[in-house]
């Protein structure tokens, strides 16, 4: 189990990716504890002064005008957790839950939330003992924070709800008992601090961005394979073309494509062919995929900031003994980032599908129709491309921006919301679609390259082709490709082609 130290600095993308990928052991730097305690003491001081402060001794939302008696303050915090745990739908993955809990710890340890060090330690205890609350994925509008899903997280700390413990689904009380932990009693403001915040939408979006890195890597490899399969030119990838435009992602992707294709016998065999230009899906890969890489880099920058941010309300400023009500819980930055990423995800799939269509078209590719011998009796990859087209079309609908919608809630007190949680969640379905689309292209490109034997592609692309053939043998006569596509898509989603391009990926380089 890898150790993750949360200190005064920014938690970087590489660390956050590790928290998403596998179990971690979180440690809180001693330097953060005085700030935590000072913030907690500030809440106690304000209560002792008799002031009315939202969420500490008042109701919530439209009920903020209701003053709560001092004897009921603990009940107030417990009730907000119970009443807000109204999520529905499929449960979030343990990986995503672990990531959002780490983000919540990061936010609380900044010392502006007014919670006790003991509460943060309790949340860390869940992470370090592989206790992951069962959190339904639907029910948040992305303001005032991810209230419903975070209430399901907080409920486990109190002994309510369900959780997985060491991959076994249990009641919260049984999960805590198995891990040697005890339920907590919330102090003033602590329930609100746990529920307010953008950690769910941010974790969902960041997990999608991590997946996008795996997808992007495979898309670049697939594109290079397709260039050789159709005997396309690598001249459009010349560094001079990219440099005069100056777009960073384009320059980077073109360099990777050049590296992947270096040493290809197939390319050398048609260096003087009469074809002047290839179709855009071949020729414009640096421009399109490079733009998607730039989007991914921007999205990671936004999400890294948000992962390290304080996004609950109200906020406690112990140095001046002020508690200020604001709106950091509004997840508009996350919603915009997720919507932006959705465009890039859709485009990666759209470009790959167009290459799949090119590969099966004998008039354009120069390959046997539908990439099979004895066409007619064999249909070859005809329907595989139809599947790719269906998935690419589905992604066009899913790419519609979620952030342009808003539904007023809480008796119009919360009259504009971000829809960030859905914006982030739909990315995962889109990425699954693109993995299948790229898998189909890879199968087609591998088939196309093998029609050029005994000529071989570059050493790197031949290595990729061999990996494909480990899962899917050459297509000699008609058979179902469904399992082949699914197995290769799984390899893509698991990062099976990351090693070809890992030097350009944001979570490795930022």
Q: Distance between CA 247 and CA 18 in Å, rounded? A: 30
Q: What are phi and psi of 205, to 5 degrees?
A: -70, -40
Token digits for 200?
């769910």
Per-residue b/e over 345-368, b at no fewer than 16 CB within 10 Å?
Answer: bbbbbbbbbbbbbbbbbeeebbbb
Residue 409: strand, helix, or coil: strand
- Give Cα separations from 258 to 186, 254, 349, 350 (angstroms): 58, 6, 22, 22
Q: What are phi and psi of 25, to 5 degrees?
A: -115, 115
- Give Cα separations from 227 to 71, 278, 430 (angstroms): 72, 9, 25
The single residue of 54, 112, 160, 475 carrying the catalytic annotation is: 54
Q: Kindly give the residue spans of alpha helices, DSSP state H, lying in 230-371.
A: 239-245, 248-261, 265-269, 280-283, 285-307, 332-360, 362-365
Q: Distance between CA 455 and CA 263 in Å, rounded? A: 11
Number of H helices, E strands in the chain: 21, 9
Token digits for 182?
């005890």
Reported as half-sphere exposure (CB side, CA atoms, 13 A), residue 229 has a value of 34
Q: What are phi and psi of 322, to 5 degrees?
A: -115, 145
Residue 322: strand, helix, or coil: strand
H helix or E strand, kind and range, residue 388 = helix 382-398
Q: What are phi and psi of 162, to 5 degrees?
A: -130, 160
CB atoms within 10 A of CB 283: 17
User: Do β-strands 24-28 and 2-6 pair in parallel, antiparallel, or remain unpaired?
Assistant: parallel
Q: Distance between CA 258 and CA 238 in Å, rounded? A: 8
In terms of Cβ atoms closer than 10 Å to its own Cβ (0-12, 13-18, 19+), residue 73 is middle
- Long-range CB pairs of 269-274 (<8 Å, 24+ gap) are 269/231, 269/452, 269/455, 270/231, 273/231
Among residues 141, 144, 146, 143, the alpha carbon closest in space to that of 100 is found at 146
- Give Cα separations from 418 to 137, 143, 268, 296, 471 (angstroms): 16, 6, 53, 20, 42
132 carries an active-site annotation = no
Active-site annotation, residues: 54
């Amino acid at each position: 189990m890898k150790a993750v130290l949360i200190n005064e600095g920014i938690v970087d993308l590489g660390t956050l990716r590790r928290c998403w990928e596998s179990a971690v052991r979180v440690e809180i730097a001693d330097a953060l504890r005085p700030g935590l305690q000072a913030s907690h003491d500030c809440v106690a001081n304000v209560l002792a002064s008799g002031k009315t402060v939202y969420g500490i001794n008042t109701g919530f939302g439209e009920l903020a005008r209701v003053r709560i008696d001092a004897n009921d303050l603990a009940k107030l915090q417990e009730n907000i957790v119970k009443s807000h745990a109204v999520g529905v739908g499929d449960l979030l993955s343990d990986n995503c839950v672990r990531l959002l809990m780490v983000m919540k710890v990061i936010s609380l340890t900044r010392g502006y939330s007014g919670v006790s060090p003991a509460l943060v330690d309790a949340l860390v205890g869940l992470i370090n003992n592989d206790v992951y609350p069962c959190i339904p994925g639907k029910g948040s509008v992305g303001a005032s924070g991810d209230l419903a899903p975070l209430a399901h997280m907080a409920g486990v700390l109190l002994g309510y709800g369900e959780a997985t413990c060491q991959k076994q689904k249990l009641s919260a009380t049984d999960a805590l008992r198995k891990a040697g932990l005890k339920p907590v009693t919330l102090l003033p403001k602590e329930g609100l601090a746990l529920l307010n915040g953008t950690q769910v939408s941010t974790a969902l979006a960041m997990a999608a961005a991590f997946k996008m890195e795996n997808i992007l890597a495979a898309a670049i490899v697939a594109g290079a394979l397709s260039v050789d399969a159709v005997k396309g030119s690598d001249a459009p990838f010349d560094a001079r073309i990219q440099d005069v435009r100056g777009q960073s992602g384009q320059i980077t992707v073109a360099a990777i494509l050049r590296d992947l294709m270096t040493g290809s016998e197939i390319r050398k065999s048609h260096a003087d062919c009469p074809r002047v230009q290839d179709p855009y899906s071949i020729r414009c890969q640096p421009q399109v995929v490079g733009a998607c890489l730039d989007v991914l880099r921007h999205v990671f920058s936004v999400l890294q900031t948000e992962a390290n941010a304080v996004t609950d309300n109200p906020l406690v400023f112990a140095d001046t003994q002020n508690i200020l009500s604001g709106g950091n819980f509004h997840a508009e930055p996350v919603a915009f980032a997720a919507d932006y990423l959705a465009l890039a995800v859709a485009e990666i799939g759209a470009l790959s599908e167009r290459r799949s269509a090119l590969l099966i078209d004998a008039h354009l590719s120069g390959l046997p129709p539908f990439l099979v011998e004895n066409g007619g009796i064999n249909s070859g990859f005809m329907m595989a491309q139809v599947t790719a087209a269906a998935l690419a079309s589905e992604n066009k609908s899913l790419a519609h921006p979620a952030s342009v919608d808003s539904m007023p809630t809480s008796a119009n007190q919360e009259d504009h919301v971000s829809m960030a949680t859905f914006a982030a969640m739909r990315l995962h379905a889109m990425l699954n679609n693109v993995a299948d689309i790229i898998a189909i292209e890879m199968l087609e490109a591998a088939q196309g390259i093998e029609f050029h034997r005994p000529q071989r592609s570059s050493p790197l692309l031949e290595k990729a082709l061999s990996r494909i053939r480990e899962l899917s043998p050459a297509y000699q006569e008609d058979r179902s490709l469904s399992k082949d596509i699914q197995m290769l898509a799984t390899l893509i989603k698991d990062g099976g082609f990351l090693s070809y391009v890992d030097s350009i990926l944001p979570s490795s380089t930022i």
